[in-house]
Amino acid sequence: MKRLVPAEPYNGGVTSAPPSPTTVIRPGPSPARLDFASGIFDYAPAPESVRPEIAGSYGLFIGGTSVDAQGGKRFATTNPATGETISEVAEASAADVDRAVAAARAALPAWSALPGIERGKYLYRIARRLQERAREIAVLETIDGGKPIKESRDVDIPLAAAHFFYHAGWADKLAYAFPGTDPKPVGVCGQIIPWNFPLLMAAWKIAPALACGNTVVLKPAETTPLTALRLAEICDEVGLPAGVVNIVTGAGATGAAIVEHPGVDKIAFTGSTEVGKRIAKAVAGTDKTLTLELGGKSANIIFEDASIDQAVEGIIEGIYFNQGHVCCAGSRLFVQESIADRVTAKLRDRLATLRVGDPLDKNTDVGAINSRAQLDTIERYLRIGRDEGATLHEVNGSALPDAGNWCRPCFFTGVQPSHAIAREEIFGPVLAVMTFRTPAEAIERANNTPYGLAAGVWTDKGSKIFEVASKLDAGVVWLNTYNKFDPTSPFGGFKESGFGREGGRHGLRPYVRL
């Protein structure tokens, strides 16, 4: 039989040489074993072999160069799977934010005057460079944030590149996006993002802003600054004019300095509803425009006529994907009463097989919790859920590493709508299972939340899909699937999940003046 030899993998920016295509890597004496408790074979370790180059310290990316923070303040970023410090990063003060805003302001006239087709070329170059450096950046994302390598490799980095490709295409077609108008850029955009999809959120923010002729000051989250700084490197590599993209690292105070800066024309924020409300107050009464992508408590609704095995996979994807660090996580499960026992039995079986542990292992399903603080929050909700009288099902027995932040995926049954675990965002791998009898009851209970980011509906009946989906107060409704993203599709919330959309033609709107 003809043997397919893989092409030489691209090794851009990577220190350790990848194995040559003819090398067969054997993991030593086979650690594969039969786990008699669960009746499944465990996999041999499959650690990612590439190690990205990580500097001992990083500066701020302002005006196209790396600069120290004024006063030289720095903070450490750690690997949540090991607790080890990975690198030190500059902590931007209000004065540093002022420098970044000045750089963005200075770059604005030339950048916004550039023909759209020329701006698009830069975006295409960034997209291609992200693809070329994808493996290195995926590993870095996993080391800094704790998510499984299979997710950063297959979801985060490819989608980030896709966002740049997609918006590159819009750069010279804005007049078609908004027919009969003459779209103009908004100006200097202050963008603040969270830690759950660090590079992807940066792409969601920067790509549409640049396509529309704006310049940017972006702040990544304190715990995951490294891939945004790689993106800064790429901006430099592709010759993006200095000051068009500025990256300022820091904590909440750095974000607040961006929000309060009078030279910023627009704020785009993704993060918690609590901070979002504070930002909305700070921006009220100013000339700044604002978009907010906030928290969620999304419902996944399973009807008795659904394909149950498929739905169980959707539940797993909905809440345990990325350790439940997903704003649109399907954290409330509504199961039709007649199938509740079957669904929970299958859920238990499936949950037992999820592999929790080393995020750099290619077989890992659930990685590390992003920070000690987030783990404390999750553990607090586990206690609250038990105290409120719900039943916690901890059926996953993965052996966890000694160091780092870990939470095994789990779910609660016996949950009442009034329970905190049914109302508040936990942002971890914890599912609240509830039941319903009729479609009307499912809709009413799913909508009984201050949030409105996403929902999932599982049924074999097309008419029921459209009936239920049209009555759910959620920005995104997935039908017989969950957590699927595409740059062409607008994403955003209702109610306390925020306003404004990212992606699609709708996502361009906040970045233009018409």
Which position among 146, 429, 498, 507 is part of the footprint of ligand NAP (CB under 6 A)? Answer: 498
In 305-429, beta strands by DSSP E: 332-336, 391-393, 410-413
CA distance 63 to 104: 7
Q: How many helices (H) and strands (E) does the chain have?
A: 16, 22
Structure-token match 């599709």, residue found: 489
CA distance 226 to 249: 9
- 255 in contact with ligand NAP (CB under 6 A): yes
Residue 144 binds which entry of Mg ion, ligand NAP, none, with Cβ cut-offs from 5 to 8 Å by kind?
Mg ion
CA distance 334 to 329: 14
Which position among 293, 361, 365, 473 is part of the footprint of ligand NAP (CB under 6 A)? Answer: 293
Query: Phi first, then psi: what are they for 48, rounded to 5°?
Result: -65, 130
Restricting to residues 440-479, which ones interact with ligand NAP according to CB under 6 A? 453
Q: Which of the ranges 24-32, 83-91, 275-283, 428-436 carries the binding residues for ligand NAP, by CB under 6 A?
A: 275-283
486-496 burial, b at 16+ Cβ within 10 Å, e below that, comes to ebeebbbbbbb
Instruction: Provide the token pair at 467.
Output: 């009936």
CA distance 53 to 136: 8
CA distance 200 to 166: 13
327 is catalytic: yes
Structure-token match 């008699």, residue found: 36
Query: For residue 101, what is the enclosing H or E element?
Result: helix 94-113
Which position among 149, 275, 333, 474 is part of the footprint of ligand NAP (CB under 6 A)? Answer: 275
Restricting to residues 53-92, which ones interact with Mg ion according to CB under 5 A? 77
Catalytic residue among 212, 327, 407, 410: 327
Residue 81 binds which entry of Mg ion, ligand NAP, none, with Cβ cut-offs from 5 to 8 Å by kind?
none
Strands 512-513 and 184-185: antiparallel
Structure-token match 């009463």, residue found: 337
Nearest residue (CB) to ligand NAP, 409 versus 493:
493
Nearest residue (CB) to ligand NAP, 201 versus 212:
201
One character per residue 147-186, x = contact with ligand NAP (rule: CB under 6 A): ----------------------------------------
Structure-token match 């932040």, residue found: 405
Nearest residue (CB) to ligand NAP, 185 versus 255:
255
User: What is the nearest approach in angstroms of ligand NAP to the Cβ of residue 493?
Assistant: 6
Work out the angle at residue 513's Cα, subtended by the Cα atoms of residues 509 and 514, and round it to the nearest 5 degrees.
90
Which position among 93, 131, 152, 223 is part of the footprint of Mg ion (CB under 5 A)? Answer: 223
Residue 259 binds which entry of ligand NAP, Mg ion, none, with Cβ cut-offs from 5 to 8 Å by kind?
ligand NAP
Nearest residue (CB) to ligand NAP, 185 versus 194:
194
Q: How many residues of this chain interact with ligand NAP, rule: CB under 6 A? A: 30
- 427 in contact with ligand NAP (CB under 6 A): yes
Catalytic residue among 48, 222, 293, 502: 293
- 104 in contact with ligand NAP (CB under 6 A): no
Catalytic residues: 293, 327
Binding site for Mg ion (CB under 5 A): 77, 144, 223
